[in-house]
């Protein structure tokens, strides 16, 4: 039996000697490479965090001492050490989540897994312990160095250092990368720390940054360049509201030395005040293909060959991200006003292609979505057209900036939202299901949802041509299917994908759900129900011709991969009412709930967004409203009740 197999909980680590700990670390790395290569997942970050996670669990007493991860994709080793060693269905329906999940274990605390929030969580938890007299409990926050680029981290540090009586340990996991290489002045400083020749010089240089933040008269930021310098100089020169910060610093520590890690963590635990432990690790450690990969060191992988790291499944066609990346380069070649902005997601959002061709016109601001959006408003004011490319789930972090900095000022900024809708295995914190609902309240905004590669290309060009309002292009994760030709296009840009001779049902398809809508229409046609399918292309605001189509039909069905509450269907319903059109409307989309990890298809099946379920739903409504059909329905469909259909909806 391996050592790993004997670990059913953190206290099983207590009796291990130093050589056994090293052997356990090796076993964990072999386990991760073997298992994650079968399922896909975040491999590189966890390979670098093995010894650190072991040391934290030996020194601290989880769950009595809560451990907060920033972000949660680096929690695989934590799962292994807390009794969860079945990775056979990692990130799949019924298997372990790829992030911390409270339903899995009492050892998991924070599920959101959006970067730069852990210190705020840790601040709140530690204050609660202090206020309730739980002085024997500690809070440990594990922060990747990329999280230090996020504004929430600095807001939290300001408050954490306001008093020094709480048991709070902040572990800075410094591997030089968040997803890709870390961006900004903070990164430049830490890079210099990492490259010092001696440990003493390393310690003195980094201690100047973290220890006694804000001590009067300390001029230790002279060597720092970039945006961080001006901000931190206020600490050093005793100016502004942050002049009195004082947080104990320990490090830098070799993140792969069990003995050094435990010694530092014990010192931090005994200090009885907020402490920063600076740990230097190597992302992808122990897996040669990851260590040789300069792009992202196997941050997230699909199924791979565990020996070579080569992917086992290759895409048969282009991805949505790839289509966007190629088209943006072509547009940027023609239009010098176009600039790209992203928040630590240069390669995942496809902006790396433009960065290679036009390096001076692409900005990666680090994990700072709020800054990215407001900076884009400034770029627009200066005569440029910014294209802000982020995951759909992350734009919610910058909603106020979209509303007050971009829309209020009528700035011509295009937002490209990758991973919109159901993303699948990454789970509730990463589904891009909210954007259609929360963006609709922004005055003047225009939202496009391409159904295929061709419409993505043309809608991107249309969006960039708009200079007096924010525009949004949203598309899902994965491969682009075949182009879906339109029967015709209306004067206001609505594509008619299928037109029935008798107008019973109008299906309004949002983006890639056009394929599903056409399948539903074909099933309805088999039952003698005439169905027209349209793709508005620009779903917000509602094109006038959509209202006209609705007035010609007996029932409208909207299909979208966003939440139904406040979604496109709701918008159409309001516009129908304003136009005095009394056609009934059924809004089909995602429920307003957090969807567990599973494949996109499995989630659609569970919530009833399948062609069979939708067709049955529509047939039941047709029967209930006595809409005449061209021929009798099969007996089994005649027996469907409207109530039953509503439940499935």
Quick check: is 397 catalytic?
yes
Pairwise CA distance, residues 265 & 284, whole Å: 23
CA distance 433 to 441: 16
SS (H, E, C) 448-463: ECCCCHHHHHHHHHHH
Q: Is 38 among the residues known to form the active site?
A: no
Q: Write down the H helix ranges in 350-508.
A: 351-357, 369-381, 392-395, 399-401, 435-439, 453-464
Answer positive or negative: Cα dihedral of 500, 504, 506, 507: negative
Sign of CA dihedral 158, 159, 162, 167: negative
Q: Which of 35, 111, 327, 369 is catalytic?
A: 369
Tokens 């680090």 belong to which residue? Answer: 366
* Beta-ladder partners of 160: none
Catalytic residue, candidates 84, 177, 285, 397: 397
CA distance 421 to 436: 9
Give the span between the Cα atoms of 79 and 349, in whole angstroms. Answer: 29
DSSP letter, residue 71: S
Task: Supply 238's token pair.
Answer: 């005793």
**What span, in angstroms and rounded, lies between the C-alpha atoms of 182 and 191?**
10
Q: How far apart are CA 453 and CA 473, in angstroms?
A: 12
From the candidates 58, 84, 137, 283, which is the catalytic residue? 283
d(CA 622, CA 265) in angstroms, rounded, equals 67
Residues found in the chain? 649
Measured CA to CA in angstroms, residue 336 lies from 270, 339, 360, 388, 614 at distances of 57, 8, 11, 16, 46
With beta carbons less than 8 A apart as the criterion, state whether 542 and 572 touch.
yes
- What is the gyration radius of the CA atoms in the chain, in angstroms? 27
Q: What span, in angstroms and rounded, lies between the C-alpha atoms of 602 and 565?
A: 22
Q: Omega before 63 cis (within 30°)?
A: yes
Cβ atoms of residues 121 and 72 within 8 Å: no
* Coil, helix or strand at residue 543: coil
C-alpha 534/C-alpha 589 separation (Å) is 16
Residue matched to tokens 């048991």: 167
Alpha carbon distance 39, 33 (integer Å):
10
Active-site annotation holds for 369 = yes
Burial class (CB in 10 A: 0-12, 13-18, 19+), 303: middle
For 525-589, what is the HEC assignment? HHCCCCEEEEECCEEECCCHHHHHHHHHCCEEEEEEEEECCCCHHHHHHHHHHHCCCCCEEEEEE
CA atoms of 566 and 559, how far apart (whole Å): 13
- Which residues does the annotation mark as catalytic? 283, 369, 397
């Amino acid at each position: 039996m391996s050592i790993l197999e004997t670990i059913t909980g953190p206290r099983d680590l207590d009796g291990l000697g130093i050589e056994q700990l090293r052997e356990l670390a090796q076993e964990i790395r072999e386990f991760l490479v073997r298992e994650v290569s079968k399922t896909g997942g975040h491999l590189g970050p966890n390979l670098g965090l093995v010894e650190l996670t072991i040391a934290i669990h030996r020194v601290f007493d989880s769950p009595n001492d809560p451990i907060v991860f920033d972000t949660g994709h680096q929690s695989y080793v934590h799962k292994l050490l807390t009794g969860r060693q079945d990775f056979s269905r990692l990130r799949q329906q019924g298997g372990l989540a790829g992030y911390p999940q409270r339903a899995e274990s009492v050892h998991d605390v924070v599920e959101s897994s959006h970067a730069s929030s852990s210190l705020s969580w840790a601040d709140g938890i530690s204050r609660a312990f202090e206020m309730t007299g739980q002085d024997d409990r500690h809070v440990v926050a594990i922060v990747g160095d990329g999280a230090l680029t996020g504004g929430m981290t600095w807001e939290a540090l300001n408050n954490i250092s306001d008093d020094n009586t709480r048991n709070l340990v902040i572990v800075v996991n410094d591997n030089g990368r968040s997803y890709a290489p870390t961006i900004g002045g903070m990164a430049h400083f830490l890079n210099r720390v990492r490259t010092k020749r001696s440990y003493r010089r390393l310690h003195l240089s980094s201690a100047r940054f973290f220890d006694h933040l804000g001590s009067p008269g300390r001029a230790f930021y002279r060597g720092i360049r970039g945006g961080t310098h001006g901000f931190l100089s206020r600490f050093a020169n005793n100016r502004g509201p942050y002049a009195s910060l004082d947080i104990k610093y320990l490090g830098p520590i070799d993140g792969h030395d069990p003995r050094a890690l435990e010694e530092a963590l014990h010192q931090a635990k005994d200090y009885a005040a907020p402490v920063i432990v600076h740990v230097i690790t190597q992302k992808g450690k122990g897996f040669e293909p990851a260590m040789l990969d300069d792009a992202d060191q196997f941050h997230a992988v699909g199924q791979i060959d565990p020996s070579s790291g080569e992917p086992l499944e290759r895409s048969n066609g282009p991805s949505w991200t790839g289509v966007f990346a190629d088209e943006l380069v072509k547009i940027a070649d023609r239009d010098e006003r176009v600039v790209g902005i992203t928040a630590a997601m240069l390669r995942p959002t496809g902006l790396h292609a433009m960065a290679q061709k036009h390096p001076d016109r692409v900005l990666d601001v680090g994990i700072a979505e709020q800054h990215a959006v407001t900076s884009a408003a400034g770029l627009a004011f200066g005569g440029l057209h910014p294209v802000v490319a982020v995951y759909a789930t992350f734009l919610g972090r910058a909603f106020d900036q979209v509303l007050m900095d971009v829309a209020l000022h009528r700035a011509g900024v295009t937002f490209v939202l990758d991973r919109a809708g159901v993303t699948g295995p990454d789970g509730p914190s990463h589904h891009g299901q909210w954007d259609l609902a929360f963006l609709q309240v922004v005055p003047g905004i225009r939202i496009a949802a391409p159904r295929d590669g061709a419409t993505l290309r043309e809608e991107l060009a249309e969006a960039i041509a708009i200079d007096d309002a924010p525009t949004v292009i949203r598309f899902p994760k994965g491969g682009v299917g075949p182009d879906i030709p339109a029967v015709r296009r209306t004067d206001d840009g609505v594509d008619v994908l299928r037109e029935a001779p008798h107008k019973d049902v109008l299906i309004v398809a949002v983006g890639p759900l056009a394929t599903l809508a056409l399948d539903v229409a074909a099933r309805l046609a088999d039952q003698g129900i005439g169905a027209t399918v349209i793709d508005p292309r620009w779903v917000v605001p509602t094109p006038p011709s959509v209202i006209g189509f609705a007035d010609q039909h007996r029932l409208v069905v909207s299909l979208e991969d966003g939440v139904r509450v406040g979604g496109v269907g709701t918008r159409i319903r309001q516009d129908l009412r304003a136009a005095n059109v009394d056609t009934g409307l059924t809004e089909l989309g995602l429920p307003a709930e957090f969807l567990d990890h599973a494949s996109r298809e499995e989630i659609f099946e569970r919530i009833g967004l399948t062609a069979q379920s939708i067709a049955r739903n529509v047939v039941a409504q047709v029967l209930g409203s006595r809409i005449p059909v061209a021929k009798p329905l099969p007996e089994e469909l005649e027996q469907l009740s409207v109530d039953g259909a509503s439940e499935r909806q």
